[in-house]
């Protein structure tokens, strides 16, 4: 990408090079030491590099082997960081004691616009003020800095919440941690769990609290011996609807692995029938 900024004036060129190296270092750190915050950063940085690679390819006079190879490599990296392996590693890196964390699936509707837009705005909130100020465009640079700071705080918090959605197997049973659907993490004790079972991606039966947010793959149902009260997450900081149910559904990555581990922990698991 550095070849596409050689025509820039010195200050923006140096600032851009520093940003690129910092982004590369942050991505490397996130890969080597995955945590929820670094996972969020990695999933912002990787698509940004993919967009940059496309811009370089378009800007190039010819599609050289090096340009095509860099473009393919960048897109492969962006695809890998969106997978379940890095998300699982980040989740379990902060696990407490004898627990196993399995990421919940991201609501598919977010991929249709809100999620890519939020990641792009986060990156732009960092890059635009630096480049404008480095180029001497002080008024626009300061304005971009003020607006970008607000966007960075709000959007980073929202993106980070997607990195902190898990189904967690613990010694006492299992926990659903999902700030998008539940006001607080909920522990379901083993002695009250009647069954964990794989489910088709169809709609939830009547009386079931559906926590999948439109995700169908990896659906799991949990049935309990009596109705329990759960508080749905509210848009604001306070409040939230209380729901009484004896069955929930959630969508988890690596569903089969989770159910096998749940059975090993003496949770009642129904095996999928074919």
pLDDT at 266: 94
Share of the chain above pLDDT 70, in %: 89
Domain-embedded: residue 272:
no
How many domains does the chain fold into?
2
Residue-wise pLDDT tens digits, 11-70: 888 998 899 899 989 988 888 889 999 999 999 998 888 877 776 666 665 556 666 776
20, 44: one domain:
yes
Last-in-domain residue among 142, 162, 182:
162
pLDDT at 74: 77
Higher pLDDT, 75 or 176: 176
The band of 248, judged by pLDDT with boundaries at 50, 70 and 90, is very high
State the residue range of the domain holding 48.
2-162
pLDDT at 274: 46
61, 190: one domain:
no
180, 51: one domain:
no
Residue-wise pLDDT tens digits, 155-175: 999 999 999 999 999 999 999
pLDDT for residue 269 is more than 50: yes
CB distance 122 to 156 below 8 Å: yes
59, 143: one domain:
yes
17, 133: one domain:
yes
Residue-wise pLDDT tens digits, 87-139: 999 999 999 889 999 999 999 999 888 999 999 999 999 999 999 999 999 99
Domain-embedded: residue 269:
no
59, 98: one domain:
yes
Domain-embedded: residue 270:
no
Last-in-domain residue among 141, 162, 183:
162
Last-in-domain residue among 115, 133, 162:
162
Mean pLDDT of the chain: 88
Domain-embedded: residue 183:
yes
153, 172: one domain:
no
Instruction: Name the pTM for this structure.
Output: 0.85
Domain-embedded: residue 48:
yes
The band of 5, judged by pLDDT with boundaries at 50, 70 and 90, is low
pLDDT at 271: 74
CA dihedral 212, 218, 224, 230 (to 10 degrees): -20
Residue-wise pLDDT tens digits, 177-229: 999 999 999 999 999 999 999 999 988 888 899 999 999 999 999 999 999 99
147, 192: one domain:
no
């Amino acid at each position: 990408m550095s070849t596409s900024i050689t025509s820039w004036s010195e200050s923006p060129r140096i600032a851009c090079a520093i940003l690129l190296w910092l982004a590369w270092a942050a991505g490397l750190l996130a890969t080597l030491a995955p945590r929820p915050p670094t996972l969020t950063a990695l999933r912002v940085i990787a698509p940004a590099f993919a967009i940059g690679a496309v811009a370089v390819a378009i800007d190039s006079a010819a599609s050289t082997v090096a340009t095509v190879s860099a473009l393919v490599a960048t897109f492969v990296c962006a695809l890998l960081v969106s997978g379940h392996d890095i998300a699982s590693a980040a989740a379990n890196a902060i696990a407490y004691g004898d627990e196993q964390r399995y990421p919940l699936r991201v609501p598919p509707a977010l991929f249709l616009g809100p999620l890519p837009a939020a990641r792009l705005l986060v990156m732009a909130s960092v890059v635009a003020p630096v480049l404008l100020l480095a180029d001497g465009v002080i008024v626009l640079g300061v304005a971009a800095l003020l607006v970008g700071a607000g966007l960075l705080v709000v959007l980073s918090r929202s993106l980070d919440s997607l990195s902190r959605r898990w189904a967690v197997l613990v010694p006492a049973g299992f926990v659903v941690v999902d700030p998008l659907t539940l006001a607080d993490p909920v522990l379901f004790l083993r002695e009250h769990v009647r069954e964990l079972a794989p489910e088709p991606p169809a709609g939830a039966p009547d009386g079931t609290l559906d926590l999948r947010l439109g995700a169908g793959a990896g659906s799991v149902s949990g049935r309990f011996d009596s109705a329990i009260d759960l508080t749905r997450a509210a848009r604001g900081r306070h409040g939230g609807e209380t729901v009484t149910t004896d069955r929930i559904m959630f969508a988890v990555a690596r569903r089969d692995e989770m159910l096998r581990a749940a059975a090993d922990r003496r949770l009642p698991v129904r095996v999928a029938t074919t």
